[in-house]
Amino acid sequence: MRTAFSLLFFACFAASATWAQTASVTEIERAMSFGTRPGFAVTFVDTDVRLVNDVWNEFVKNNFGSKLKKGKRNEFTAPQSRSTSISTGTFTLYSELEKVGTGAQLNVWFDVGPFFLNRRDDPQRTDEALRLLRRFHWEVRKAVADNDVRAEENKMKELENKLRKLRRDNDNLNKDIANFEARLKKAREDLAQNEKDQEATLIDIERQRSSVEEAVRRRASVQSEQ
């Protein structure tokens, strides 16, 4: 019973994960520079717009052999794009990227000449476009994951550097303690010797006092001879 429940759980989890990835790329009818046209929306949750933009520029170059250029409004265009998945000939790619909450949304239109790519006019290539954009969505997620790894690695390096500094400080402190202990030992030895020297000097002073008194008596004896 437990095994059957586990299998059902994992099947539901896999299905929900697949649905979530599929739902991230949808077909849309949206206003752009040529009016309202069919296109595609790729949504990203908790993703930096700048990261999506960087990956999108690279994706267009690698998959469509073209380069995005600033167009009308907030659109970017990539003319003379090529991909057999989208069209037998060249096509113009239009896209706009917007920030949505803590995430982003990329809107894409494929102008294949007679029409903007859509399911009614070309269902097969529409499915291919969806597949390409899902791969782009995956590449963005991978870039986010790569950035997360780099960020965590940088934190690790900072902690390792902190540990190295603490160890250096520990070594220096131990050296300081050893030096202080050596100086303290020497000071104690010097203190003990100082006390001995004081005692010896007191004895010398008493002896010298006797010598002074003897010299004073001799002088008095000489003076009395006048």
For 51-61, the pLDDT digits (tens) are 999 999 999 99
The string of pLDDT tens digits covering residues 72-127 is: 778 999 999 999 999 999 999 999 999 999 999 999 999 999 999 999 999 999 99
* 50, two tokens: 């700048």
Q: Is residue 9 part of a domain?
A: no
Q: Which residues of 203-226 are buried (b: 16+ CB within 10 A; e: fewer)?
A: eeeeeeeeeeeeeeeeeeeeeeee
User: Residue 97 belongs to what domain range?
Assistant: 21-220
- The rounded percent of the chain whose pLDDT value lies above 70 is 90
Backbone angles phi, psi at 100, to 5 degrees: -130, 105
* 189, two tokens: 């030895």
Q: What mean pLDDT comes out for the span 62-68?
A: 96
Q: Is residue 176 part of a domain?
A: yes
Backbone angles phi, psi at 111, to 5 degrees: -90, 100
Q: How many domains does the chain have?
A: 1
The string of pLDDT tens digits covering residues 17-49 is: 333 444 599 999 999 999 999 999 999 999 999
This prediction has a pTM of 0.70
Looking up residue 61, the CATH number of its domain turns out to be 3.30.530
Q: Is residue 13 part of a domain?
A: no
Q: Is residue 137 part of a domain?
A: yes
The tokens 């008596």 sit on which residue?
A: 217
